[in-house]
Amino acid sequence: MENIDLVAALSRWIHFMAGVMWIGLLYYFNFVQVAALKNAGADGTAAGITKHVAPRALLFFRWAAVVTWLAGAALLGPLFVDAFLLRNGMGPIGIGAWLGTIMLFNVWVLIWPNQKKILGMSPASDEEKNKARRVAFLASRTNTMLSIPMLFFMAGGWSHRALFGL
């Protein structure tokens, strides 16, 4: 077996595992935690989530995003540039790669810094917290929306070439 095959196989494996953790936690936040926090706020039990669950979930969430992206880049290997320039038959997977990259940006630039303010991990006034809540919420929802085409192009971009007439 060529060394490059081994790197690709390991990268694909890690890319999938980390991706499952990243997108799994993203769906947890959007489909479970947002609604749960609304109800928990009403009966005064929100602290259980914001103190014990959310920080731990965010830790695995943001680092899984980094590992997913790096393993994806390693998997593309010499085709990395072709993918991001959407050329030489790498267009569909390239669209997936661009969507994943935008999502990584949202995690580290919009979601995490604002979640730190919301959860009291960095200082913020009530007004700043309210603004942070809206920005983090919309960035998280944007990532949920982007995950739908991202998974379509990631899953179908390479092996289902006929779908794209390639």
Partner 1 sequence: MKNPLDSLWGTVISGVVLTAVLYVFARNFLG
Give the nearest distance from C-beta 72 to partner 1 in angstroms.
18
Query: Which value, to the nearest 10 degrees, does the dihedral of the CA atoms of residues 154, 157, 159, 161 take?
Result: 170
Per-residue b/e over 19-41, b at no fewer than 16 CB within 10 Å? bebbbebbeebbeebeebbeebe
Applying CB under 8 A, which part among 2-10, 60-68, 71-79, 140-148 lies near partner 1? 140-148
Query: Which value, to the nearest 10 degrees, does the dihedral of the CA atoms of residues 159, 63, 70, 133 take?
Result: 80
Residue 17 within binding range of partner 1, rule CB under 8 A: no
Structure tokens that stand for 14 in this block: 């890690």
User: Considering beta carbons, is residue 55 or 91 the nearer one to partner 1?
Assistant: 91
User: Considering beta carbons, is residue 46 or 138 the nearer one to partner 1?
Assistant: 138
Q: Which of 17, 37, 49, 91 binds partner 1 (CB under 8 A)?
A: 91
Q: Which of 36, 49, 124, 146 binds partner 1 (CB under 8 A)?
A: 146
DSSP 8-class letter at 52? I
Q: How far apart are CA 147 and CA 153, in angstroms?
A: 10
Give the nearest distance from C-beta 101 to partner 1 in angstroms.
15
In a 3-state reduction of DSSP, which class is residue 119? Answer: coil
Give the nearest distance from C-beta 133 to partner 1 in angstroms.
13
Structure tokens that stand for 21 in this block: 């953790």
Applying CB under 8 A, which part among 5-13, 73-81, 88-96, 102-110 lies near partner 1? 88-96
Q: Which of 16, 17, 30, 66 binds partner 1 (CB under 8 A)?
A: 30
Contact positions vs partner 1 (CB under 8 A): 30-31, 86-89, 91-92, 95, 138, 141-142, 144-149, 152-153, 164-165
